[in-house]
Structure 1
Amino acid sequence: MTNKINDNPIANIIDIQTLQESVEVECKQASGRDGHGAVPNDMWETYSAFANTRGGLILLGIKEKKGTFTVEGITNPAPLIKNIWDTVNNPNKVSVNLLSESDVRIETLEGQSVIAITVPRAPRQSRPVFMNANPLNGTYQRRYEADQKCLPPAVNKMLAEQEEVRDNRILEHFTLDDIDPESLRIYRQMFIDAKPQHPFLELSDQEFLRSIRGWQKDRATGKAGLTLAGLVMFGKWDAIQDALPSFALDYQEKDDSTHRWIDRIYTDGSWSGNAFDFYRKVYRKLTVDLKVGFNLTDGGQRQDTTPAHEAIREALVNTLAHADFSTESNILIEKHPDFIGFRNAGLMRVPVHEAKAGGNSQCRNPAIHQMFLNIGLSEKAGSGIPKIYSNCKAQNWQPPHLYEKDELNQTLLELRMVNMVSPELHQRLIETYGEGYNKLSELKRTILMTAITESWFNHERICSLTSEHTREVTLALSQLVNAGYLESAGQHRGKIYHLKGIEVPTPDNEAGRNISFVLSPSQAALPLIGSKKINEVPDLTEPMPELNPPVPELVPELNPPVPEFDLSASNFWLELKEIASPIAQNSGRKQKPDVQKAIIDLCTKSAPNCLRLSDIAQLLNMNTDTLRKNYLREMVKEQVLFLAYPTIPNHPEQGYKLHKD
């Protein structure tokens, strides 16, 4: 399938400033030593990074300085074009050529010639894409707007993903005794219910497993036994642990007011621990609260499922069928009052936008997927993700959020159980935008729905809610602003969008000055400037100020008042330090999930007030740059946290909170 980034030439994008909202764009001046133009060496790092991540656009002839982009142009682009083709076709320099003729072109911006290079995401069989014939030292991935060298474990994961099928592997020394008989019995009964005339029903257990690819014989070697799929789906817990020591399945129902689980199912040895039983237990938990109206099928039978049931069922099956069971990351299903989250180890084998469009299935565990399909619990290959999206739409829910965590090698899907087109919301949309709203494209209507339901949002937020490519989103946002539907604030990757009349907080406006921050003891001693300050606490380790200091000359107030200190606020800071202490006192390597949980706990305790970056760093005993780049930026991207000043992401006094106001 052609990458959609090819569909819109760069000239159709409003301007280069708008284009910079996407992290999938990299600009390089490429002026060369003589100023006439040269392909920069680090361009190939970006080529590798885009190819190994989500693809992107490289622009040569554009200068970037402190977030400002200016078109410098390339005086004579022809030699650079030749150099690009010579290099990309040289296997000693670049491992694979992913470019077609239309991917490298000369465009005109602001009267200057620039070179635009569209880098598609490499197919799974070609990853890793690396430089200088050295995959372990020449492989890069895109991390936000930066190219980052991959460590050997990440490279090895890409190499392992080149394998076509993961769950057909025969497990030596595993027999039918390792199958949980009750799990297999229930599955066979469900098979009867789904296909009462099927010839498989007459087979013995071993032959039945062979027919559904749970048992296999290698004709070349004569080796026979349970497959990985058979053991994962129907195995006993001790046998699964023997084959897959890191295997873990976890379901948690959480009360968002406390962020603690109130119900849990996990592989603790008290039940079979296999994927089939996990599905049965968890599906009931996920759907118990769904209301079912009285509807009849064409045959006159009561229909006891809804689009919501089908979306949840497909999401759960998809999580199990696409998981990489060889990693240490577990499958996690979280149920919250307003959304359900599904997480599996392993990145998607096709780009997210292709998965949303459907038709191109590269399932990591096709035998497991087929086992669910046999009993009517899944859609045919390539249609599962589109079915989830269409059913959420039919249920009038907010579009799902499907995304990857590259650095953690995880895929996540969130079903947002928020009614997006209730009669009240529809009426508000018409009142806000007029009857012309109904004539807009589905993408633009989705954007305006988001504007109504969220106080502000950015380019990346819309990309997560739609199957359209980043460039279609860029164009739609620009058109909605130009047409007066929306207003924008900020620049480049700090640009956000909102309805007219909404004041987005900045350090210099009234909305920003009304933000409340939790203050550390040292900050509490500062004068009250700018934002309203709460929890003003002195640094109790410092000497108290003199009650009658020497009076300086030319100061009319001879006896300034002694500040009053709120000792209860000091206790509050000590409570924050107690929350952070497990991380702060850990002198070894800090585990990322533990740090993230500590940040959430600190922000939960501080709500509704914001915590500054410097305070979080002080509490956790961590470097501010490490905290921002490796933790906070990602949590903001995933809307786990929100910025106090959303238009200025790198503001030195930036604050973080759990909820968008």
Structure 2
Amino acid sequence: MISDIGIIKSLVENGEGLTVEFKESRISLNKDVYDTVCAFLNRHGGTILLGVDDNKNIVGVDKDCVQAIKETFVTTVNNPQKINPPTYLSVDPVEIDGKTVLHIYVPESSQVHRCGAKIFDRNEDGDLDITNNTDMVSRLYQRKQSSYSENKIFPYTGLEDIELSLLAKCRKTATIRRGDHPWKDMDDMDLLQSAQLYQIDRETGKSGLTLAGILLLGKHASVLSAVPHHRTDLILRKVNLDRYDDRDLVEVNLVESYDRILAFIAKHLPDPFYLEGTTNISLRDTIFREVASNILIHREYMNAFPAKLIIEKGLVRTENSNRPHGMGIINPASFTPYPKNPVIARFFRQIGLADELGSGVRNLMKYGKAYGGENPELIEGDIFKIIIKVPEFGGGKDSGDSAGQGTKLALSRHQVKILEMCLTESSISDLMSIEGRSDRTKFRNQVLKPLITAGLLEMTEPDKPTSSKQKYRATEKGKERLTTYRY
């Protein structure tokens, strides 16, 4: 999570409220900080600032205590004896006027949480203990159940309905990302319960996987049994506009769906060379990781509308069913993130397939213009839509990045490798071996032809394009172009 100093200062200036809480916490955590975490989880989420007193003074957290406070907080919110169900939150240090403020963002949860044995709700700028108020507790449970379909319990489902090898892979990924991750020492059922993917219906006493659990990790038959209409339709439509040029109908669980979406994107969109500072990053992968996680996490799965990702000439657009909290084009400057499926989102974050709530919009805006020349559009409504302009393979325009480095964006990294290999004459077989291509016709049309048309590559037998003796070499223009690329 990256905290903006301006936003933090604005929160301090506006003071405490329904979604903002200050804790002085100079050398240790205030004991009631976990009451606030519980209240925010149960209400609308919110921001906790450690190092700010009740009078809006930034007093700062003692620098020698920062690490201990962070570790204590993260460990405690992961402990079901303190916060139940446990949650996974991060603590982000921010330096303001030489003082350290610890920023904690608590998203709204789709569950009802307890702190110790108590249930807290948020009321104005305070945490309200509602444990013994049966009416308020009942309304809280009803609100959560009616707002979040991901919590629907499927009685009598269990480990036999999920892909256990995929669950093991997710555990391994989470523990590689964080060595002390609580999943490390849990058995399969404990992990599912910890991640809120297996629950007990408090009205009937029946237990089972939730819709979130089946969607995330379920076997194919289990997913379609729970949600028969579930699918993500991936379409390439550039030549045959009435139908499609390529299509992948994805009906598997969400973790596997994520990989299928990115594979389809990699197959049909270029990955232009791009420098951020002195680091080469993949614009395509950075952008479409956010897109893939968005259409999987923020979908209303009770709606039969099929999610779509459509690649057209010069753009990609997505559509998925939605419970809107506004209408029209999202303004990133005033955008307030709202968790549509908090349990699914939290699981995706643990395995590195998503970042903190709201960061996806920021990343799309940050890199979208560099990739396709225009800012992406995100349109809120009953159908949530994303429109992203994209370059074509071998496109001829150059575009500078936001840092003003003048990085050219026309070539994919694959094409850069081709040019490098063609500094000496190379056969088509040699060139295809770079990334294991097997279809010569597609390789000529999609990779070599754009380079030749741009004057960066030439044939040794120009009058016999398909000659068995044909080789390719970089032109002087191509050699000059390579000098702009640094790995």
Q: Shorter-chain TM-score category?
A: 0.3 to 0.5
Structure with max Cα Rg: 1
**Which structure's relative contact order is higher, taking Cα pairs within 8 Å and 6+ residues apart?**
2
With the length of structure 2 as denominator, give the TM-score of the two structures: 0.47
With the length of structure 1 as denominator, give the TM-score of the two structures: 0.35
